Amino acid sequence: MTDSRVIFAGTPEFALASLRALVESGRTPVGVLTQPDRPAGRGKKLTASPVKQYAAARGIPVLQPVSLRDEAAVAELRALRPDVLIVAAYGLILPQDVLDIPTHGCLNVHASALPRWRGAAPIQAAILAGDETTGVSLMAMTAGLDCGPVYTIERVGIGEDETAAELHDRLAVLGGSVLIDHLDDILEGNTVAIDQDESLATYAGKINTSDARIDWSAGAAELARRVRAYNPFPGAFFFAGDNRIKVWRASTAEGSADPGTVLQCDRDGIIVASGSGALRLDELQLAGKRRVPAHEFPGQLDLSGQRLL
């Protein structure tokens, strides 16, 4: 049904993959919803979302309401007469009067195998929990948080060393593919959505910068997952004195001492004791400096003999 009137709602790079898939399949939306421009970069210049930039470059009308509880914004959506509203990482709640606008309802491309990891940060949550698999779910939207019935789930394995950035990119592409593969069947009524099992639901809340601070009393395996989960945002970090240091890559190592004790810091690497085992810091970044492999870091700051915070 390439002649269906589609509205697309999304904001970041994850959403862009689904929007691009729609356009490339001949289903160019009649309108795109995305969040208002936000300050970004060191200069805090107002910057359009990736979805807005892509849509504007192709002449697709862009709507950027601050809230979808605004009557004028809802009227604007109604005027587009959508058959379906497709959502991927939009970032705003869709109230019931918006969910009721499209003839065939609203679909959501969600980056987890629902009902596991509903919420804002499912990719990071899956890595933090040590899940071996995750996926993309295509679901019918309801007023609740990611709790609508699911049309299909495409599962993938999570690599042992895979970061949230790497997993995000794989799932974004997969999301666009799943959407295009199943959209026509959904619109034609050939696919039935299955209710989620509420007893299996887990939630992935929004990430705060404070969540990414390394607690050296935790086990090394857990800390390695935290480093992976918070790459690229907000970046796992610790303090050495007044120096804030981000860790972009890490792995488990052998060693034992009071948590936070630097066991090794030389051109052969940096190893820090944790609550169980030790953590090898493979790539680090001192505030105001570039990322460097561990063997270069002592040239910026020698951590030998320190107790890290």
CB 194 within 8 A of CB 108: no
Same domain, yes or no: 67 and 194: yes
**Banded pLDDT at 42 (limits 50, 70, 90):** confident
Q: If 0-12 CB within 10 Å is exposed, 13-18 middle and 19+ buried, where does residue 63 land?
A: middle
What pLDDT score was predicted for residue 81? Answer: 97
Q: If 0-12 CB within 10 Å is exposed, 13-18 middle and 19+ buried, where does residue 19 land?
A: buried
Same domain, yes or no: 198 and 213: no
The answer to whether residue 304 is domain-embedded is no
Same domain, yes or no: 218 and 241: yes
The answer to whether residue 307 is domain-embedded is no
User: Percent of the chain having pLDDT more than 70?
Assistant: 99
What pLDDT score was predicted for residue 232? Answer: 96
Give the range of the structural domain holding residue 167, as residue numbers without chain letter: 6-204
pTM for the full model? 0.95
Point out the domain boundary residue: 182, 204, 226.
204
Question: For all residues of the chain together, what is the average pLDDT?
Answer: 96
Domains identified in the chain, total number: 2
And the tokens for 86?
A: 């497709």
What pLDDT score was predicted for residue 2? Answer: 64
pLDDT by residue (tens digit) across 198-229? Answer: 999 999 999 999 999 999 999 999 999 999 99
Point out the domain boundary residue: 204, 222, 242.
204
pLDDT by residue (tens digit) across 104-154? Answer: 999 999 999 999 999 999 999 999 999 999 999 999 999 889 999 999 999
What pLDDT score was predicted for residue 290? Answer: 95
Same domain, yes or no: 164 and 279: no
Q: What is the mean pLDDT of residues 302-306?
A: 92
